[in-house]
Amino acid sequence: MKFDGRKYVIITIFVLIGIVYSFKLFYMQVVDDEWKLRAQQIAEKRREITPPRAVVFDRNGNKVVSNKTYYNLMMVEANIEKLDTVAFAKLIGWTVQEVRDRFIEIVEGEGEYYNKHTGKTTSNYQRIRAYPFIKELTAEEISRIAPHLKNFKGFYEEVSSMRDYPYANGANILGYLAEVTQPEIDKDPFYRPGSRIGRAGIERYYEDYFRGKKGVRYIVTSAMNNTVGSFENGKYDTIAVQAPAIHLGLDIDLQAYGEQLMQGKKGCIVAIEPSTGEILALVSSPSYDPNLLVGNRKIRENYPMLVNDDNKPLFPRPLASEYMPGSTLKLVQSLIGMQEGVITKDSGFPCNKSVVGCHNHPSAQSVTQAVQMSCNPYFYAVTRRIIQQGKKRSSFEDSEIGLAKWAEYMHSFGLGVKLETDITGLRSGVIPDPAYYDKWYGHHAWKFSTIRSISIGQGEVQLTPLQLANLAAIMANRGWYYTPHFVKSIGEDGPLPQFLEKHYTMVDRKYFDPVIEGMRRVVWEPGGTARRARIDGITVCGKTGTVENYIGSIKQKNHSVFIAFAPMDNPQIAISVFIENAGGGGGTWSAPTASLMIEKYINGEVKSTAKEERIMNAELKGGPK
């Protein structure tokens, strides 16, 4: 009886063990995919397929950024047999030592892994893995190498792609790509060692939209790491999807023309379509060919040269240079004065040169005349009324209240604040407020007479050329603007939502008309300062600026500034031109430059050939006065 009892116990134990193992086997094979995936990893590999980046078109359908096929010479060390280093070096055009050094560089580039459990450090390099021996070979270069690779086992060619720029223009807009860093790889699983990422321009801002969606291909390999087929006939493969095309508001022909006009000069041109906020051209001079920074090889060759160039071609002047705006700021002073009720459109002030210097002209009897003649004493009087309105008995307290309100108005025009456009590297400029002057002079230790230079756009006021072009767009629109931006549509979806939002200034529409009439007279009437901006058949409205320029205490040639829009009644383009160290006033160099850009954009051609020749041949290198 005791034996029978033990028999049933033993049978029960075996049954229970069988049930447990059966359940575990069922769980591993049916429920838990982890074990299946581990088994798969022994026999198959997951290869990611990166799609080409999005293609970019300008507003007229011209392709401005595309992808060009390149090749990598790959190697798998485990498959290399008796490498004839001398013959191989000759084939690729290297020395034997360079070949040997490249093998070492690849191994060292993979780094090391520290096992905290064993305390041992091992190399991340794997002999059975494929590594690029030479990257970014052109079709011509690989065509000389590929036919002979059969003699060098373990080496093969791999198709790659890199950016190509059909136009040698717009480098500061388009940006460039570079290899990702390890922190970027750790942050975003999309990237792998050797992946490229946008480093500047719209390539950087729209990185997530440019890169597309990766595909995956599962391949079965042998014990020797040779591909033997597709896993389950591609059942689990996914297709790489290229991102939709990016359409810019940029006019690449206008951009190229602007870069031509600015050769031999330092400065910038910014042109905007007022009705949309789309940037038509953004010229930073001097510039460079964007093809100089395509791929690691060219970056290594050309980037140091560009960085060390004293003329700073990599510096985005339209976005990051902060200049005194000079007399262009008088447009806003007029508008604030009328909105605040401290002047009317018919207010007149004497041209009192004892208050502030001015050129010779009759005293302005209205806002329109003051803008037309750019009278300094007039705007000194207007700004004093804005800032000292008698709301406090103390002139110091009164100036604090007035300046705070003045700065608020300026900010509503996008001045002294970052215009959050779709490119990096922007600066906000400076519109001084009470806190700004408190830091310099102390609280209630300054008043209008202390800061009076701001009335004519000098002193502490600093603006970027992009802000000045946007000011011209605001004048064209009579009081509102869209944030300036480059991308008008991502695929067929239009721009990003923030670029469809209208921004209104604090000045009523009705006050713009007398100021705009003054801008028309600046170009078209006697006494105006920009007669060189005239274009037959196009009513240009503009405002000149002449900005004093010192290096230390040494007076340099003045900067030349001009902002404008055209035509007057149906504005198609708003523009700012800033030429450093040009000498003369804004009407001497910047105004004719702007008019050529306007004529080119609206008419599609330039008939003012004498004006064009004068600007293109000008070498304005600046220097002491």
Q: Which residue has the higher pLDDT, 75 or 223?
A: 75
pLDDT one-digit tens code per residue, 289-302 = 999 999 888 888 99
Backbone φ and ψ for 126, nearest 5 degrees, come out as: -125, 125
% of the chain with per-residue pLDDT over 70: 88
Burial of 527 (0-12, 13-18, 19+ CB in 10 A): middle
Looking at the predicted structure, is the pLDDT value of residue 457 above 60? yes
Average pLDDT for 200-218: 88
pLDDT of residue 577: 97
What pTM was estimated for this model as a whole? 0.84
Q: Summarize pLDDT for 308-347 with one digit per residue, the tens.
A: 998 899 999 999 999 999 999 999 999 999 999 999 999 9
DSSP assignment of 213-281 equals B-EEEEEEE-TTS-EEEEGGGGTT-B--BPPPPEEES--HHHHHHHHHHTTTB-EEEEEE-TTT-BEEE
| pLDDT at site 70 | 87
Q: Choose between 190 and 404: higher pLDDT.
A: 404
Q: What is the pLDDT of residues 250-285, one digit of tens each?
A: 999 999 999 999 999 999 999 999 999 999 999 999
Is residue 42 predicted with pLDDT exceeding 70?
Answer: no
Using an 8 Å Cβ cutoff, are 80 and 155 in contact? yes
Domains delineated in the chain: 47-119+127-248 (3.90.1310.10), 252-308+316-617 (3.40.710.10)
Q: Which residues are bridge partners to 576 per DSSP?
A: 270, 563
- Least Cα distance to 431 among 463, 395, 468, 402 occurs for 463
The pLDDT tens digits of the residues spanning 131-167 come to 889 988 988 999 999 999 999 999 988 888 889 999 9
Other C-beta atoms within 10 Å of 224: how many? Answer: 10
Q: Please answer whether residues 591 and 532 qualify as being in contact, where contact means their C-beta atoms are separated by less than 8 angstroms.
A: yes
Average pLDDT estimate for 376-389: 95
pLDDT of 73 > 60? The answer is yes
Q: What digits encode the pLDDT tens for the residues 11-21? A: 667 666 766 66
